[in-house]
Amino acid sequence: MAKTIFLYLLLSTVSLALCGQVKPSWTSAAMREISFPAGTFFTGYTQGEAWTGETIEAAKLRLLRDAQGLLAESIRMTISSRTAMQTVSTQTNRSERIDNVVDANVEIAADAEIAGMNSEPPFQDTETGIIHAFAYVNRFELSGYHKANLGMNLTQAEGLLQTAHDLEAAGEKSQARRQCEAMIPLLVRVRQSQDLLTAIEPSISPEALQQPRTEALHNRLVQIHARLAQAVNVYVESAESLFSRPTSLVANRLKSLLADMGCSFTDDTMQTDFRLKIEATTRYQGIEYGFTVCYADVTIDLFDARRERSVFKDEFSQKGISTTQEAAGRKALEDAAATIADKIAKWIE
């Protein structure tokens, strides 16, 4: 009898090994809840079958990616389910502008790498053809990563801000602005880490989130950004003619208008924030109600040196009316300057 039982168990074990159907415990919802409790883990689980024409290995990889995506989504849902943290800031337009830039990118940053993500090898049940995939990450390991990452990003941002202050003091304002702009991605990562940490640990202290340090950094950035924004350097290059005679009517009038907006001007292309290229010519149109009508045909190209690309181009014709052709042409050119100022104002704020 004992031999019979032994043979039966041996055959059963061999059969299971040959069939490969030792089903992982994580394929069971109940076992996942026990082995990966929600208080300790974020998880993502999915199951499905191979599509028509799809190999089993390709299907396993697809479903594993789906499980990892569900894991990331569970983290995003945890973050979005609470009230969004508001960064303390001074009430200025420049402050709001910085906040808007950061907030617009925080959601994107939520797709950042999930440190410590693990996954089980996808399993196919040969009896049903169903493929199971599972991914998970320990909340506390994720928390530890983001606490370290938070401190690192704040330190880097503070270094950039100090460099910006030094450059401002040396008169290198365009370079100082570049340092400030380089801080924005770091502030995005800081905000994302703080959001995630608050979601993982609802009772986490402001000190652990380094909120006082973040607020101090933010306010210092707002202050220097406001100062630097009042001295945007513009390099103006113009090729103008008033009925074939060279002139600088557009450039001179435009500089006066831009100066009223807080701009400064430079002849050094290496120290400029924007390069504005203007081409303008005049043409006679005719007589209307006893007055001479002329047009200024204008082409403009605004190049943002900070972004290293052209940000605005346009062509337009400006009408000028006066008692003589000369006066009408001058009027068209001067009015064209006001039109240019209106068109580029939002780009050079």
Q: Which tens digit of pLDDT belongs to each residue from 142-178?
A: 999 999 999 999 999 999 999 999 988 876 777 787 8
The position carrying tokens 């199951």 is 47
- Measured distance CA(225)–CA(187) in Å, rounded: 14
Residue 53 has pLDDT above 90, yes or no: yes
Contact between 323 and 289 under an 8 Å Cβ cutoff? The reply is no
Provide the token pair at 2.
């004992």
Amino acid (one-letter) located at 199: A
Choose the weakest-confidence range: 43-57, 113-127, 132-146: 113-127
What percent of the chain shows pLDDT beyond 90? 58
Give, in degrees to the nearest 5, the angle at Cα 154 between 151 and 157: 150
Specify the 3-state DSSP secondary structure of 116.
Answer: coil
Give, in degrees to the nearest 5, the angle at Cα 120 between 115 and 122: 130
Per-residue pLDDT at 283: 97
Per-residue pLDDT at 263: 82
Question: What DSSP character marks residue 307?
Answer: T
Per-residue pLDDT at 88: 35
Contact between 229 and 222 under an 8 Å Cβ cutoff? The reply is no
Confidence tier at 19 by pLDDT (50, 70, 90): low
Confidence tier at 82 by pLDDT (50, 70, 90): low
pLDDT in tens, 239-261: 999 999 999 999 999 999 988 87
Average pLDDT of the residues of the chain: 85
Strand order in the sheet with 41-48: 41-48, 131-138, 118-124
What global pTM score does this model have?
A: 0.57
Choose the weakest-confidence range: 82-96, 220-234, 262-276, 297-311: 82-96
Q: Structural domains in the chain?
A: 25-230 (no CATH), 232-347 (3.30.160.150)
Smallest Cα–Cα separation from 262: which of 91, 94, 90? 94
Contact between 336 and 318 under an 8 Å Cβ cutoff? The reply is yes
CA distances from 339 to 25, 133, 239, 336 (A): 71, 61, 17, 5
Q: 302 pairs with which residues across the strands?
A: 276, 312
CA distances from 321 to 22, 151, 327 (A): 90, 63, 8
Smallest Cα–Cα separation from 126: which of 75, 63, 50? 50
Stretch 292-297: mean pLDDT: 97
